[in-house]
Amino acid sequence: MLRRVWGTVVVALLLASAARAQDPRLDRRLDSTTLAAVGALMDSARAAGLPVEPLVQRALEGSAKHADSDRIVAAVRRLAGELGVARAALGRESSPAELDAGASALRAGVRPEDLTLLRQRRTQPLTVALAALTDLVTGGVPPDSAAAAVLALAPRARDDQIAEFRRAVERDIALGASPAAAAAVRVDATLRDVGATPRKP
């Protein structure tokens, strides 16, 4: 029993040391137990080829907000999972920024299949398009409508046009339009701007 306890302590110390070696920012802000658990998650993410900076920032956020260890670890674990799903949906060649934005979209309720379709339809980097998708869904546009709207714009619209589309929908919603209607109206307007034939979502 004592050997098992000592073994656990040694492993925890080793894990903590490994985490400390990974990022000194965590060392100053997390207790040893949390540090060990977060470090393990970071190792797994790194081994899977996922970006770890978002995980570091999520842990630091939890620390800043005085969250308990379980909550911090759960948040980091959840983000690691979402990054993995985003990478599977968007492809292994996706940039860390795209993966981070994709994880946010998944968290908001966007389906992985829609992320895959977005990758297939758009040759430009997806960061802005994914951010617009997240913004629409968090603003109240149903995920399927939001995805359809962004997918309609994806082939031809520039990043600034997609960003303008997002701002226009936000403004319409603030002025009283229903989110889905605002997205539908604005996507038609934006498609006219890019010269494409409007398609109903």
For the chain, how big is the Rg over CA atoms in Å? 21
Amino acid in position 49: G
Is 195 an interacting residue with respect to another protein (CB under 8 A)? no
How far is residue 106's CA from residue 54's CA, in Å, rounded to a whole number? 15
Give the integer Cα–Cα distance in Å for 52 and 57: 9
Cβ at position 182, least distance to another protein in Å? 8
Task: Give the residue with the Cβ less far from another protein, 41 or 130.
Answer: 130
Phi, psi of 110 (to 5 degrees): -75, 140
Residues of span 151-180 touching another protein by CB under 8 A? 159, 163-164, 167-168, 171-172, 174-177
Is there a contact between 41 and 62 (Cβ–Cβ < 8 Å)? no
Please check whether residue 193 is in contact with residue 168, taking contact to mean a CB–CB distance below 8 angstroms.
Answer: no
Return the number of the residue (67 or 117) whose C-beta is nearest another protein.
Answer: 67
Q: Which is nearer to another protein, 12 or 156 (CB)?
A: 156
Residues 6+ apart with CB under 8 A from 130: 98, 101, 102, 104, 105, 115, 118
Which residue, 127 or 145, has its beta carbon nearer to another protein? 127
Q: Which stretch binds another protein (CB under 8 A): 42-50, 53-61, 80-88, 113-121?
A: 53-61
Residue ranges in contact with another protein by CB under 8 A: 25, 54, 57-58, 60-65, 67, 71-72, 75, 78, 96-97, 100-101, 104, 107-108, 125, 127-128, 130-131, 134-135, 138-139, 159, 163-164, 167-168, 171-172, 174-177, 185-186, 188-189
